[in-house]
Chain A
């Protein structure tokens, strides 16, 4: 720690930070534009000027850019000096010269960093009377709106999009005061992280196009802390509602998880909550049709089924621990089945076992700091998107380390980039098909899943000869394994990433062996396994039985009633299997929020809550238990699945049903039942938590329209709804102090209306939130225990004649069930296809787009052919989770024929 003096007051600061970060970290108001806590400084905007003085006798001082100034011991700084204040006012006046008169119709208004900084710098009157420069806008796709007139040329967008996220189709153009930020021509932005421009751009150039469809200012949104529902990484988000519909998602900072950024699926997938396909009341089958019934009748029917005979429950990886647990309690542990395919179940079980033995699952922050990485068989961008953005930063670590040795601070962004030139640190990607990380990969390896596993085992064997040898490895592969092993060995903090993409247990085991070999060599290895759904790991930790056994139970007549929890079984198993299961049961109860193939089969359908209307706890692929909170009370008879199930238990006068009054009671029950989940209690404060006797308001202090928004229904305002399940309230009254991170409904402080206000909530800039980041890690293997190797090297892959190994290819837009119901995401989703390598397509005599017949065990379909040059011979790919064959678990051998 160093000591500096700002306007004659002493502050303890971290000497590795720059002066701007040090000042902001102490809550001092210093305006800035181009510096970004995750992207460092470039000194482009000149807004963060301060004065520094040589010594006590120096009365004039000199103006420097705080973001470009390293900390020195006992440094004398002034932010308030009149000369430097004038300088800053002059800079902003210049930036505002051509700024359009748009605030009233600008979506950034009210949470605009430019507005905040303009007010902070004291520029409040336009003196420039001449003509303003104008630009034409571009169409950038369904996610982002472009309004270039508002640009202040801070270069943050291109630094994020091109340099940080690796986008290629965007950048600065033209020169002098005409610098333009856009694409070469109109078109959808290709990068999967483009949505972050909404928050990165300090102005209203890039705004959320989905928000625009139902625009509301930040001050009018009722907001709550929630967790992204669209993959297993558990990025922290803030969701905002107005008039009963969900309006948008923004990032909620968590230094260990998502940091400052989200992926586009997470940011724009929320609109399934507003879908016309929402189930809004209980329904029961009458004369073959589902018809609305009152809640009480639904509960009566449900409890009568329980009396009628044996009940089995099918859980879900997209439901909270509490919902799954309530179902398990209703049907009994021996009748509680995993709502995923048996293969996925086995793979998930294997991953959980591996993580429990170690190395422990790494946080995204830990992965980001890795200086060499091996991605084994995982299509990270399409399965766990945010992790791809993290992995992209690993290739810079070597150079950041080198820069530090050369006494260039890490935040000196362009100096570090100049030093590195085009050179990247080691990143190896092995995958059956091209991935979106290939452009920064040192080397890629295209092979069938088994061969990828063999490469992994070979690397592990080179790292540690105690791990099994891979027989019959071709020389080029062996040489590549050598190079990978060498890079990982030389790294100070290597990372190994794998996951569910290939659906192969062998690949995951190989990755684990590599990570274990590195750990044995004493390396702090960052090991991560990508999983698909919000609570995949949490479901696995509840030890459900495999789905296949549910079918057997039904066949035996051991399942008079099947209760399906928030799950479309037709995505989990071939249609025949699901039909057989449903056909064998006398009663089928489905709880879900959206209509789907499974809800159509229900005899009794209960409306449950999508994430924005639900409370619960989920376990991320990092093993982090995180609580999410409802943004607004679910309308009508809709209620949390756990509440429906608790109500039924209550009607059946079962002890659980009588004792479960709110979420905390369920959390407690889960924690007591599963030792591994004991710590979920600490994921967030209990519902009884109060600050100065008050709950934490979900509505900002500026929330408007309270006496008018419902006046069309009744002029007397109703009492605000109660929230028995959390310490958050559905009002704007409450403690005006900072809540614990897990309960932080939004980031906003005086003078800082935009999301940049997160600076004021951190222990230090880019550090954890004050009081610790949200969530608790559940999986921490005992230190010092060295797990053994997994010793399961598969045989080399041999292509078959006239048969292909059909693997799954995930798509960030389209493969995930919920977000696929959001119109903007659906627009970006690919159409069903089957992909073959160029040689295989040629041998089939089929051209791109040709109709081919795909025949798999469990179903066949006619699909257009897509030629993917990288696919190895004998391997075909089908899009995961979309298209007519989405219920078939891949990989699987199948036939592909040209249809004449």
Chain B
């Protein structure tokens, strides 16, 4: 008898405690910038696509929901011809972001992706590519890599010596 009354009392007291549940969607919770929500593809500081179609996110993905096809522009810059994420499979683990050597693929704090039709959860590059650098400003893979692209010749990447002179005989 005593224990029943005690339980009723405790429940009653809880009504006066502060609430944790928020009135979503009227009230939005704070999600940190590193929250693992909707995935985007970002651009480098020059406004070019960051993704170099290296397939590392795809291999890292434990549910295999990323696929892409690599291609190159006429100057040798590699980028994805198409890039697809099947969000109906994605578990938002963030392993793709961790694997990405260019900071192209990033998880964002947007979680509002509900769809009535599962097919609409298949995102193509047009749906993924944003216009900014996302969480990582500054980094541009191509400025570090040794491959020649438009406006960056051999020897012009960071910490590169000018191309070797093949006719030198100096020891």
Q: Which residues of A contact B (CB under 8 A)?
A: 100-105, 109-110, 129-137, 147, 149-150, 173-176, 178, 180, 212, 214-217, 219-220, 243, 702-709, 711-712, 714-716
Contact = CB atoms under 8 A, between A and B. Distances in A.
A104 B168 contact: no
A709 B154 CA distance: 36
Nearest to A180: B166
Given A100-B146, A712-B84, A134 B154 contact: yes
A706 B55 CA distance: 13
25 contacts: A104-B56, A104-B101, A105-B54, A109-B54, A129-B159, A134-B163, A136-B163, A178-B166, A216-B55, A216-B69, A703-B64, A704-B55, A704-B66, A705-B58, A706-B64, A707-B63, A708-B64, A708-B67, A708-B122, A709-B84, A711-B65, A711-B84, A711-B122, A714-B119, A715-B118
A110 B89 CA distance: 25
A216 B55 CA distance: 8
Interface of B: 52-56, 58-59, 61, 63-72, 78, 84-86, 88-89, 101-102, 118-119, 121-122, 124, 141, 144-148, 154-155, 157, 159-164, 166, 168-169, 171
A715 B55 contact: no
Contacts of A105: 52, 54, 78, 145, 147
A133 B67 CA distance: 35
A208 to B, nearest CB: 14
Nearest to B63: A707
Contacts of A216: 55, 69-70
Given A101-B157, A216-B69, A704-B64, 13 more contacts: A100-B145, A100-B157, A103-B101, A105-B52, A133-B164, A149-B146, A178-B166, A214-B69, A215-B71, A704-B67, A705-B64, A711-B122, A715-B86
A707 B161 CA distance: 44
A180 B164 contact: yes
Contacts of B102: 104
B171 A173 contact: no
A709 B67 contact: yes
A176 B162 CA distance: 16
Contacts of A215: 53, 70-71, 78
Contacts of B72: 212
Contact of B159 (A102, A130, A707): A130
Taking each of A130, A150, A174, which has the highest tally of chain B beta carbons within 10 Å of its own beta carbon?
A174
A215 B118 CA distance: 30
A102 B147 contact: yes
Contacts, number: 140
Chain A to chain B: the 6 pairs with minimum beta-carbon distance, closest first: A100-B146, A705-B67, A104-B54, A704-B58, A708-B67, A706-B64
Nearest to A145: B76
B84 A708 contact: yes
Nearest to B82: A712
Contacts of A133: 161, 164
A617 to B, nearest CB: 34
B90 to A, nearest CB: 9
Given A174-B164, A217-B59, A715-B88, A708 B145 contact: no
A134 B164 contact: yes
Given A132-B159, A135-B163, A104 B141 contact: yes
A712 B154 CA distance: 39
Contacts of A104: 52, 54, 56, 101-102, 141, 145
A707 B86 CA distance: 7
Contacts of B66: 704-705, 708
Contacts of A103: 54, 101
Nearest to A217: B55
Given A131-B160, A131-B161, A136 B154 contact: yes
Contacts of A137: 148, 154
A132 B88 contact: no
Contacts of B67: 704-705, 708-709, 711
A128 to B, nearest CB: 9
A707 B52 CA distance: 22
Contact of B121 (A134, A176, A212, A715): A715
A447 to B, nearest CB: 44
Contacts of B64: 703-708
Taking each of A135, A173, A219, which has the highest tally of chain B beta carbons within 10 Å of its own beta carbon?
A135
Nearest to B77: A105
A135 B146 CA distance: 9
